[in-house]
Amino acid sequence: MPSQRDAGSPQNPPDPASPGTTSAVAARRRAIVLSGHSGDPASARDALDDPEPSLRVAALGALARLARLSASDLHRAMGDPDPGVRRRAAELAATDPTEKLTDGLLGLLADPEPLVAEMAAWSLGERPPSGNVVQALCTMARGHDDPLCRESAVAALGALGDPAGLSAIVEATHDRPAIRRRAVIALAPFEGPEVDAALERARSDRDWQVRQAAEDQEGRAPG
């Protein structure tokens, strides 16, 4: 039977300095964040292996600020057991064109955590397209169970402006209101009868934000 003196009881509260307590984690996180402002990459890099996921997230950000975050660091973080770490890695990969990271981001499109998959789609839309990126984004835009992921994929296809992604964007103009609006915006780089028909249909959409997005495209100069 547990004693009344067990750790965590009112008679014997946890030591605030213990590494696992909330206050100790917050203090360590502050130190890691500061390392990114004070030119201390060694401290930030040590935290990449910290057992606390939020500190691994902070370490990625600190190293990125110091321009000391490598593609290998990001690729490793994409396989982290914590979704928050994977999501931050996907976000930071947006500006690194390394092909290995493209492969990693494509893998994250199928992540079981929708927020990770959504961020991976956004990141792919910010990078130069390569391989089967457009095809993978089209697949997500057409069939992902999570609406936010479909919306992110549509936005990424619009950002890339690859003609191979146009049909998926047009199809998305029949999806949920938020996705229809995003699809109308994503049509901006494109032109042609298929685009004109989608915009005309959107101008009479039952959702006012979709209609507004279509009206904003009037007189546009594609591409």
Question: Which pTM value belongs to this model?
Answer: 0.85
| Mean local confidence (pLDDT), 107-118 | 98
Alpha-carbon distance 141 to 160, whole Å? 14
Alpha-carbon distance 210 to 202, whole Å? 6
pLDDT for residue 5 is more than 50: no
Alpha-carbon distance 175 to 142, whole Å? 9
Chain position carrying tokens 């839309």: 125
Task: Please give the DSSP secondary-structure letter assigned to residue 51.
Answer: S
Task: Tell how far CA 145 is from the center of its chain.
Answer: 17
pLDDT at 3: 41
Kindly compute the dihedral angle of the four CA atoms of residues 13, 14, 16, 22, in this order, to the nearest 10 degrees: -120
Alpha-carbon distance 22 to 19, whole Å? 8
| Mean local confidence (pLDDT), 99-111 | 96
When the pLDDT of each residue in the chain is averaged and rounded to a whole number, the result is 89
pLDDT in tens, 170-208: 999 999 999 999 999 999 999 999 999 999 999 999 999
Q: Please, what is the Cα angle at 52 between 48 and 54, to 5 degrees? A: 80
Distances (CA, A) of 222 to 129, 130, 156: 19, 23, 17
Domains, the chain, ordered by start: 101-216 (1.25.10.10)
pLDDT at 223: 46
Above pLDDT 90, what percent of the chain? Answer: 74
Contact 141, 154 (CB under 8 A): yes
DSSP E strands in the chain: the ranges are none
Could you tell me the pLDDT band of residue 32, with boundaries at 50, 70 and 90? confident
